[in-house]
């Protein structure tokens, strides 16, 4: 099982770089980064680092670990341009990029930046076409593509990515369309979820793979959940009794290890830990170290 870190994009780049370098030096497997231009909601005047320029810097400055957007909003960039960006970052990293891609969902940044938001159906159609043409650009000498939303004419992409193939990760848990797109095109898949949610959605994904004649094992699976690694029993009980929302992993190291073991046993190949709930610099790094030492290492 792999373990990766997800630094919050509202931090200064120096802090993001420190987290990424610390994760690399202490045995973590990956560093992911959100592709959003502002927070979701009314309060948007908050510093927020742009994903692909940040990933470019991390590719050059942080060795060994896998890096990638979690996930790129397909509506924000033409997919052929995105393929070119991804191939370049793959070279800068020496072949460590994972191209995470999703349909796009955050309306306020589309509205503020004048980017068409489309309907849910149109966004999913565009995602499917983007996956197909990106994989074509990565593999073919030239790619001609004529879809409902995108068209390429004898398009070239050189140099090709270092990785052949460069992994394409589809993010999202939509059970009727997104998981079908994942089954058809993805090398990896990511979703927020607890163990029960992961089991349910992975069973659906496996079924779609069977319909397409594709081995479910061809798709790596990753999950995100908020981490509260603590010996404070009052905090543990408070977090366990909170209203439903983002999935959480909460408890002391023994309890957290058993939860993560259940993710692994359910078929999750990678657990991605956001730093959103880990506090300021020193407690954050201490929690990441404790998680690696007392939870991740025993489960590898």
Reported as a single tens digit per residue, the pLDDT across 186-209 is: 999 999 999 999 999 999 999 999
Nearest to 260 by CA among 201, 194, 215: 194
Mean pLDDT of the chain: 98
Helix or strand or coil: residue 170? strand
d(CA 266, CA 2): 14
Residue 66: what pLDDT?
98
- Percent of the chain at pLDDT > 70 equals 100
pLDDT band for position 11 (cuts 50, 70, 90): very high
> Per this entry, what is the length of the chain?
300
Could you give the count of Cα atoms lying within 13 Å of 197 in the half-sphere of its Cβ?
Answer: 18
pLDDT at 74: 98
Average pLDDT over residues 40-51: 96
Q: Three-class SS of residue 30?
A: strand
For the chain, which domains are there? 2-299 (3.20.20.30)
Q: Where are the alpha helices (DSSP H) in the chain?
A: 13-25, 51-61, 79-92, 107-113, 120-139, 178-185, 195-212, 233-240, 253-266, 281-291, 297-299
Count the Cβ atoms, other than its own, within 10 Å of residue 199. Answer: 16
39: helix, strand or coil: coil
Asked if residues 186 and 131 have their Cβ atoms less than 8 Å apart, the reply is yes
Q: Kindly state the DSSP code that residue 216 receives in the 8-state scheme.
A: G
61's CB contacts (< 8 A; 6+ apart) are 17, 20, 21
**Count of Cβ atoms closer than 10 Å to residue 125 Cβ:** 19
- Note the pLDDT of residue 31: 99
Q: What is the mean pLDDT of the segment spanning 213-226?
A: 98
Question: How far is residue 232's CA from residue 149's CA, in Å, rounded to a whole number?
Answer: 52
Q: How many Å from the N-terminal Cα to the C-terminal Cα in the chain?
A: 6
Strand-pair partners of 49 = none
pLDDT for 69 equals 98
In angstroms, rounded to a whole number, what is the distance separating the alpha carbons of residues 75 and 272? 24
Measured CA angle at 284 (ends 1, 51), to 5 deg? 70
Q: What phi and psi values does residue 142 have, to the nearest 5 degrees?
A: -135, 150
| pLDDT tens-digit map of 110-130 | 999 999 999 999 999 999 999
């Amino acid at each position: 099982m792999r373990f990766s870190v997800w630094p919050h994009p509202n931090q200064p780049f120096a802090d993001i770089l420190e987290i990424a370098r610390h994760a690399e030096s202490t045995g973590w497997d990956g560093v992911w980064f959100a592709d959003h231009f502002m927070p979701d909601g009314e309060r948007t005047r908050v510093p927020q680092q742009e994903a692909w320029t940040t990933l470019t810097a991390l590719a050059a400055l942080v060795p060994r670990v896998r890096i990638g957007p979690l996930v790129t909003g397909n509506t924000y960039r033409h997919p052929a341009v995105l393929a070119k960006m991804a191939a370049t970052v793959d070279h800068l990293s020496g072949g460590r990029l994972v191209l995470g891609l999703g349909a796009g969902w955050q309306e306020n940044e589309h509205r503020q930046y004048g980017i068409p938001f489309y309907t849910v159906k149109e966004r999913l159609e565009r995602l499917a076409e983007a996956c197909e043409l990106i994989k074509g650009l990565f593999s073919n000498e030239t790619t001609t593509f004529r879809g409902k939303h995108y068209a390429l004419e004898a398009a070239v992409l050189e140099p090709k990515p270092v990785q052949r193939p460069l992994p394409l990760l589809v993010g999202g848990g939509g059970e009727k369309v997104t998981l079908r797109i994942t089954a058809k095109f993805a090398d990896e898949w990511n979703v927020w979820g607890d163990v029960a949610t992961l089991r349910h959605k992975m069973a659906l994904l496996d079924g779609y793979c069977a319909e397409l004649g594709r081995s479910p094992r061809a798709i790596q699976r990753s999950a995100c959940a908020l981490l509260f690694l603590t010996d404070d029993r009052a905090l543990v009980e408070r977090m366990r009794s909170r209203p439903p929302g983002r999935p959480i992993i909460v408890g002391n190291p023994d309890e957290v290890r058993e939860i993560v073991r259940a993710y692994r046993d359910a078929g999750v190949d990678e657990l991605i830990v956001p730093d959103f709930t880990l506090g300021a610099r020193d407690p954050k790094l201490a929690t990441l170290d404790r998680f690696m030492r007392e939870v991740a290492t025993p489960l590898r």
